[in-house]
Amino acid sequence: MIYDTINSNYMALENDILEELKKIREAVTPKAAPPAPKGIIAEFKEFIGKSGVLGLAIGFIMGAAIGKVVTALVQDLIMPVPGALIPGGDWRKAVITVPVGNGMSFGIGDFVGAMIDFAIISLVIFLIAKSAAKTGLK
């Protein structure tokens, strides 16, 4: 009877050890690598789909196109008005020369023109973004 108890305890311990060894083997056995994509086209489609690259590209192209439209609006429709009001014509070529050394020339007209362009372009972009937000486009 004592022999049977010892033998059954030994068998239970042996089974526990075998189970632990199986768990260890499963843990250290290298797993199979995930299947590779089917080729360059499949990889490209996955890249486009997961990265949102297509939306980014569309946004970039649309931004460049809108930038051209806004620049044309400013240069061709808005900026000729101050040019017509200022005597002497093209105020963007106005230069201030300081008599230091050989003379230093500052293209003040071009700078002021760039600042005005920036302000007008910023205002137009703001108005576009504001109207897009009202319509639900963000």
Q: Is residue 30 very low, low, confident or very high in pLDDT (cuts 50, 70, 90)? A: confident
Q: Is residue 5 very low, low, confident or very high in pLDDT (cuts 50, 70, 90)? A: low
pLDDT at 1: 60
Instruction: Read off the pLDDT of each residue in 33-43 and give the average, rounded to a whole number.
Output: 74
Angle of helix 40-51 relative to helix 53-72, nearest 10 degrees? Answer: 60
Instruction: Read off the pLDDT of each residue in 44-63 and give the average, rounded to a whole number.
Output: 77
Tell me which CATH homologous superfamily contains domain 52-135: Large-conductance mechanosensitive channel, MscL; domain 1 (1.10.1200.120)
Residue 55 and residue 63 in contact, taking contact as beta carbons nearer than 8 Å: no
Instruction: Read off the pLDDT of each residue in 87-103 and give the average, rounded to a whole number.
Output: 77
- Distinct helix (H) and strand (E) counts, the chain: 5, 2
pLDDT at 49: 74
Could you report the per-residue pLDDT of 96-134, keeping only the tens digit for each? 888 887 878 888 888 888 888 788 878 877 887 888 788
- Closest C-alpha to 73, from 42, 117, 19: 117
Residue 95 and residue 105 in contact, taking contact as beta carbons nearer than 8 Å: yes
Q: What is the rounded CA–CA span in Å between residue 46 and residue 36?
A: 12
- Closest C-alpha to 74, from 35, 39, 115, 44: 115
pLDDT at 73: 81
- Does the structure show a pLDDT above 70 at 81? yes
pLDDT at 2: 64
pLDDT at 58: 78
